[in-house]
A and B are shown apart, each in its own frame.
Chain A
């Protein structure tokens, strides 16, 4: 098979062929390793021929049979530099590997490279990386979304069959939507966070970015599970079933008014694709109705208090004492802290650390952090109430298609508002998947770009979620590839 043919295979399809002896895992690995990365998707890449040397035992054994995998540079990988997209960790080589990565490499996966990301996972466009932005393979003048922009772009552009990412407020789902691929954020606690560089501890989750829903299920199956090094991990009881549903008969889908097509800021093209998807759900036999998540309109406010607050504490360890960058010109201890962090962190990270510190400070804690955590309780309650009437909720993943590089960097709040469909789900800790719904033009014209549809389900119901998403995916039949696929022109 040619490189092009190899990299067009979904992971499941590749697995089938490897198992059947038609192709080898090594040639698949080398094909991917050879694709030129014109998107700045990777911060580090394995050489072709490196399949057997990195991150796993000898031989292509196990359920993942040697399949290559891209890993967001937020996961610690022993012996491989890990930066979290930040200057402050430039050159840092972890002495250990994240449990999630270890699980998949123990299952046979091979690491293709570490993907670029918004610094410390703070961003929705991958423009906050200290190592340059990632470009969207559908239009290189546009963003791929973030913070797992590198992973999403790599999967969409044929630089990897699938990738690991992390999602705190939408950082898997939104880039998946903007790049036309599948992205799943599992229930909080489904996958171990040990070794996953922390941004917001009560929100961060590892998840797969893939070409198909089946691939997402395959990867999730290996990732999930309780880890005794992560006290907040529980795994998914009963494991993960591979999806097979052919229709949506007997399933009830709710469309939250606050996050639906009439919500503020949704582009016309996104609305259209979304509504078409709703029709498809009905065609498949699903029942549709409107519902309310009254407190979800406060999701962004609550999120942008809680996440920065936790981040301000999680990022305090980057002080130049034990690893990472230390400013060489510091004359005293305070100077060392200030100069190291002043030079090592980018603007968005500093902004959030300041916000977070403020939200936790004496006299403000109750009004900010305390109040935000109450809003969070209400948001979770809203979802629970909705799930008494519905099996799933469905929303657009993001309000717009991929926007132009630099178009929102001057207005952080506008950037934050990208997340308002994804953030309430994160606050509630429940699972959601984004699948491509179709293509649409941005408001004001331009190329046709992917639109993602988000399906949400109750905690720990990933198998059912994947099943329904699969049926919908099959019916939608999205098979477009970006012009930048395989390193070609975009």
Chain B
């Protein structure tokens, strides 16, 4: 994995040599602005559906090992 990553990085590093200081980085592909949604409620999932895929559902919640453990 290590050598593969190094090889890839070497190739990718080629772009370092380009002088692109005057160029704007692309941050958004579509030329859209202000796409918003009205503050109107949409139906939520019934709780059983929300918990169905859970690996460890418990009392209506998603149980996980405690971060402080």
Touching chains A and B, CB distance < 8 Å: yes
Which residues of chain A have a CB within 8 Å of any CB of chain B? 92-93, 95, 188-189, 202, 228, 231-232, 234, 298, 300-302, 304-305, 320-326, 330-333, 335-336, 347, 350-351, 354-355, 358, 367-368, 370-378, 380, 411-413, 416, 429
The 0/1 profile, CB within 8 Å of A marked 1, for residues 3-19 of chain B is: 01101110111111010
Are B29 and A350 in contact, with the CB atoms below 8 A? no
Are B8 and A413 in contact, with the CB atoms below 8 A? yes
List the B side residues contacting A321 at CB < 8 Å. Answer: 55, 62, 64
Known: A301-B12, A377-B26. A93 touches B32 (CB 8 A): no
Which residue of A has the minimal Cβ distance to B2? A354
**Looking at chain A's contact residues, is the secondary structure mostly helix, strand, loop, or mixed?**
helix
Are B30 and A189 in contact, with the CB atoms below 8 A? yes
Q: How far is the CA of A380 from the CA of B27 in the complex (A)?
A: 13
List the A side residues contacting B11 at CB < 8 Å. Answer: 300-301, 304, 413, 416
List the B side residues contacting A333 at CB < 8 Å. Answer: 64-67, 69
Known: A347-B1, A367-B16. A376 touches B25 (CB 8 A): yes
Which residues of chain B have a CB within 8 Å of any CB of chain A? 1, 4-5, 7-9, 11-16, 18, 20, 23-30, 32, 35, 37, 45, 49-50, 52-56, 62, 64-67, 69
Are A322 and B53 in contact, with the CB atoms below 8 A? yes
Q: How far is the CA of A412 from the CA of B23 in the complex (A)?
A: 30
Known: A95-B45, A331-B65. A373 touches B27 (CB 8 A): yes
How far, in Å, is A297 (CB) from chain B's closest CB?
A: 9
Are A355 and B8 in contact, with the CB atoms below 8 A? yes
Are B16 and A323 in contact, with the CB atoms below 8 A? no
List the A side residues contacting B69 at CB < 8 Å. Answer: 332-333
Are A92 and B53 in contact, with the CB atoms below 8 A? yes
Which residue of B has the minimal Cβ distance to A368? B12
Q: How far is the CA of A453 from the CA of B14 in the complex (A)?
A: 28
Are A188 and B29 in contact, with the CB atoms below 8 A? yes
Are A188 and B30 in contact, with the CB atoms below 8 A? yes
Which residue of B has the minimal Cβ distance to A228? B37
Offer 11 A-B interface pairs, CB within 8 angstroms, sorted by A: A95-B49, A325-B55, A326-B55, A355-B5, A373-B26, A374-B26, A377-B23, A413-B4, A413-B8, A416-B11, A429-B30
Q: How far is the CA of A321 from the CA of B53 in the complex (A)?
A: 10
List the A side residues contacting B45 at CB < 8 Å. Answer: 95
Residue among A234, A354, A416 making CB contact with B32, cutoff 8 Å: A234
How far, in Å, is A80 (CB) from chain B's closest CB?
A: 13
Residue among B1, B15, B27 making CB contact with A371, cutoff 8 Å: B15
How far, in Å, is B6 (CB) from chain A's closest CB?
A: 10
Are A336 and B54 in contact, with the CB atoms below 8 A? no
Closest 5 CB pairs of A and B: A373-B25, A323-B53, A326-B55, A374-B20, A374-B23
Are B64 and A232 in contact, with the CB atoms below 8 A? no
How far, in Å, is A346 (CB) from chain B's closest CB?
A: 12
How far, in Å, is A371 (CB) from chain B's closest CB?
A: 5
List the B side residues contacting A367 at CB < 8 Å. Answer: 16
Known: A228-B37, A333-B67. A351 touches B18 (CB 8 A): no
How far, in Å, is B24 (CB) from chain A's closest CB?
A: 6
Are A351 and B5 in contact, with the CB atoms below 8 A? yes
Are B53 and A354 in contact, with the CB atoms below 8 A? no
Known: A333-B65, A355-B9. A302 touches B15 (CB 8 A): yes
Residue among B30, B37, B66 making CB contact with A232, cutoff 8 Å: B30
Are A377 and B25 in contact, with the CB atoms below 8 A? yes
Are B15 and A320 in contact, with the CB atoms below 8 A? no
List the B side residues contacting A347 at CB < 8 Å. Answer: 1
Are B65 and A336 in contact, with the CB atoms below 8 A? yes
List the A side residues contacting B16 at CB < 8 Å. Answer: 367, 371
List the B side residues contacting A300 at CB < 8 Å. Answer: 11
Q: How far is the CA of A330 from the CA of B55 in the complex (A)?
A: 12
List the B side residues contacting A378 at CB < 8 Å. Answer: 20, 23
Are B18 and A335 in contact, with the CB atoms below 8 A? no
Are B8 and A416 in contact, with the CB atoms below 8 A? yes
List the B side residues contacting A354 at CB < 8 Å. Answer: 1, 5
List the A side residues contacting B5 at CB < 8 Å. Answer: 351, 354-355
List the A side residues contacting B49 at CB < 8 Å. Answer: 95
List the A side residues contacting B9 at CB < 8 Å. Answer: 355, 358
Q: Which of A188, A326, A332, A374 has most B Cβ within 10 Å? A: A374
How far, in Å, is A76 (CB) from chain B's closest CB?
A: 12
How far, in Å, is A457 (CB) from chain B's closest CB?
A: 16
List the B side residues contacting A189 at CB < 8 Å. Answer: 29-30
Are B24 and A374 in contact, with the CB atoms below 8 A? yes
List the B side residues contacting A375 at CB < 8 Å. Answer: 15, 18, 20
Known: A202-B29, A300-B11, A367-B16. A231 touches B35 (CB 8 A): yes
List the A side residues contacting B20 at CB < 8 Å. Answer: 371, 374-375, 378
Known: A95-B45, A95-B49. A380 touches B30 (CB 8 A): no
Q: How far is the CA of A350 from the CA of B23 in the complex (A)?
A: 31
Which residue of B has the minimal Cβ distance to A412? B4
Q: How far is the CA of A332 from the CA of B35 in the complex (A)?
A: 41
